[in-house]
Amino acid sequence: MLEGCTPWPEDVARAYREQGIWRGETLGTVLREAALAHGDRTALVHGDRRVGYAELDRWADRLAAGFAAHGLRAGDRIVVQLPNVPEFVAIAFALMRLGVKLVFSLPAHRATELGHLVELSGAVALLVPETHRGDDHRELAREVRARTGTLRSLFVLGAKTEGFVSVAELESAVPDPRPLPEPDPSDVAFFLLSGGTTALPKLIPRTHDDYVYMSDRAARVCELTADDVYLAVLPIEFNFAFGCPGVIGTLLTGGTVVLADTPNPMDCFPLVERYRATVTAMVPSIMTLWLEAAEWTEEDLSSLRLVQVGGARMPREFTARIEPTLGARLQQVFGMAEGLLTFSRPDDPLESVLTTQGRPVSDADELLIVDEEGRPLEAGRVGELITRGPYTLRGYYNAPEHNRRAFTADGFYRTGDLARLTEDGDLVIEGRIKEMIIRGGDKIAAGEVEDLLLAHPGISAAAVVGVPDTFLGERICAFLVAEGPEIPLADLKRSVHARGVADYKLPDVVRYVPELPLTPLGKVDKKALAAHAASEQEG
Ligand code: OOB
């Protein structure tokens, strides 16, 4: 495994292999096999474009050869920032075949986040779209190169640009490439980003073995077949849309992935009708938009059979509206880029589908609910969820200190989520210990926003908490102590934005206080602040 990553213990890995959990197959091989089995079927659809399985397979080989011709080597890291386009999928397979490790960045990321990812991963290359939603990402890429020290190459999806290699140039670099030898399946295929609990995101190594297994399990639990059409509503670099079962699980099964440009019903409903989408996945705030729009739409949504909703908490009043409105089965999903996935099952009793996050997708997943001392609690009691298994990481990349806190001595990952197990073994997420805000589908580390606010002149202390919001689930509320005059929210937002930070992290509300309340241990009392913000909102 790549240096800086924590492998599974030897005996555990052996057992996973012996049990056939890890198949010893790379993601590149999976596409190769799918191309043999489903050659002229449609793998991807975007707008009016259709890409067949065999075509996608050849395209990935050409791109892999192109990346190699432009200096990328097995083991190198590349930060990739792309919207939901077929090139994204072809490029991902190309890089995985080459053994170059992708670091998935979000389209909303700006120079601060991109720079952080380049530094953290030691990336030698960065790939961006030419423009996205009105922003010029080439400018961003140039800024990131100037800020960081490792970038050798910049790639762009779009027109040929000075200082960049375009994807079109990569495609034509080697006209008839020979397939490359596949990398080691137990090695890292790509890095996902953690939601982040302390500061900027950490890198989560995902191996071919672990990801093929997880996507395959997810596809099986969803009963996917080659006739299914998966509508990718969320950005596909999000684990949920990439492999749960998402893009990878659908391609494993021979189905079709339809890529949506935005999650909005206005964009997605016509795609459901046109391509007869059967399965899709989204976060609760988007589901709310869909439910409202579905009341008056004229588009035919009847092809949808399964709608996965996850990523944030959903009250029963909300989940209960989904099946009657959309006429599709709801599947609750609890998941994390770190690994563990739990799904409610299509044939579970309605009440458990509405009120629980179901069961792990693998029998080899181990889940424990523990108290503050780490002692296991019996069914029904609420405690921290800790987990380990064949597709849950054993350590973040190059983060030994954080890893000591984030894992137990015997390799369980501390999720930071508060949960309980029902008598039937279903998981129910009750809250969070970690200081993370889930605003819509976006995860925001309180500490990161605090650091940004503290960097503003005139702010001497900052504490950021989530406050309940009917649409977004939570909004970002910042409690600040000002040295002099209070700085208006709009000014703070402008200054944070100007430093090149993703917009979704900007605070929604600020409250100035003379000082931050402390717990008896001298830590900022976030519970008190959150309660204060919530009560203010109600009153
Ligand atoms: C998904 O992944 P991440 O890595 O963006 O966020 C993980 C965290 C969890 O630790 C938990 O705090 C929260 O998001 N979460 C939920 C939830 N699903 C995730 N909280 C309450 N209810 C749920 N159903 O969010 C993700 C990855 C794969 C599939 C689905 C979601």
CA 186 / ligand 1 centre spacing (Å): 25
Nearest to 46 by CA among 78, 100, 82: 82
Q: Tokens 């930060």 correspond to what residue? A: 79
Taking all residues of the chain, what is their mean pLDDT, rounded to a whole number?
A: 95
> What is the SS3 assignment for 385-438?
EEEECCCCCCCCCCCHHHHHHHECCCCCEEEEEEEEECCCCCEEEEEECCCEEE
Is the CB of 357 within 6 Å of ligand 1?
A: yes
pLDDT tens profile 212-231? 999 999 999 999 999 999 99
CA distance 128 to 169: 15
Is the CB of 311 within 6 Å of ligand 1?
A: yes
Sign of the CA dihedral running 275, 250, 247, 93 = negative
CA 239 / ligand 1 centre spacing (Å): 10
DSSP tag of 263: S
CB atoms within 10 A of CB 404: 10
- Report the atom number in ligand 1 closest to the C-alpha of 416: 10
- Report the atom number in ligand 1 closest to the C-alpha of 332: 24
Is the CB of 204 within 6 Å of ligand 1?
A: no
Is the CB of 429 within 6 Å of ligand 1?
A: yes
Strand partners, 420: 428
CA 415 / ligand 1 centre spacing (Å): 10
Is the CB of 147 within 6 Å of ligand 1?
A: no
Measured by CA distance, the residue closest to atom 7 of ligand 1 is 336
Mutate to test the pocket of ligand 1, among 105, 210, 334 (most ligand atoms within 8 A of CB): 334
Is the CB of 239 within 6 Å of ligand 1?
A: yes
Q: Which residues 6+ apart lie within 8 Å of 69 measured at CB?
A: 170, 173, 174
CA 313 / ligand 1 centre spacing (Å): 9
CA 341 / ligand 1 centre spacing (Å): 9
Domains by residue range for the chain, with CATH: 26-38+48-184 (3.40.50.980), 209-432 (3.40.50.12780), 440-538 (3.30.300.30)
Read off the pTM: 0.94
pLDDT tens profile 176-206? 898 888 999 999 999 999 986 667 789 999 9
Cβ contact 102:191 at 8 Å: yes
pLDDT tens profile 465-517? 999 998 899 999 999 999 999 999 999 999 989 989 999 999 999 999 999 99
Cβ contact 362:390 at 8 Å: yes
> What is the SS3 assignment for 277-331?
CCEEEECHHHHHHHHHHHHHCCCCCCCCCEEEEECCCCCHHHHHHHHHHHCCEEE
The CA R_g of the chain, rounded to the nearest whole Å, is 23
CA 386 / ligand 1 centre spacing (Å): 14
Q: Say how many CA atoms lie within 13 Å of 160 toward its Cβ.
A: 5
pLDDT tens profile 59-108? 999 999 999 999 999 999 999 999 999 999 999 999 999 999 999 999 99
Alpha helix (H) residue ranges in 122-221: 137-147, 167-173, 208-221
pLDDT tens profile 368-396? 999 999 999 999 999 999 999 999 999 99
CA distance 332 to 325: 16
Nearest to 220 by CA among 38, 367, 21, 428: 21
CA 172 / ligand 1 centre spacing (Å): 40
Is the CB of 243 within 6 Å of ligand 1?
A: no
Q: Is 147 helix (H, G, I), strand (E, B) or coil?
A: helix
Q: What is the ipTM of this complex?
A: 0.99
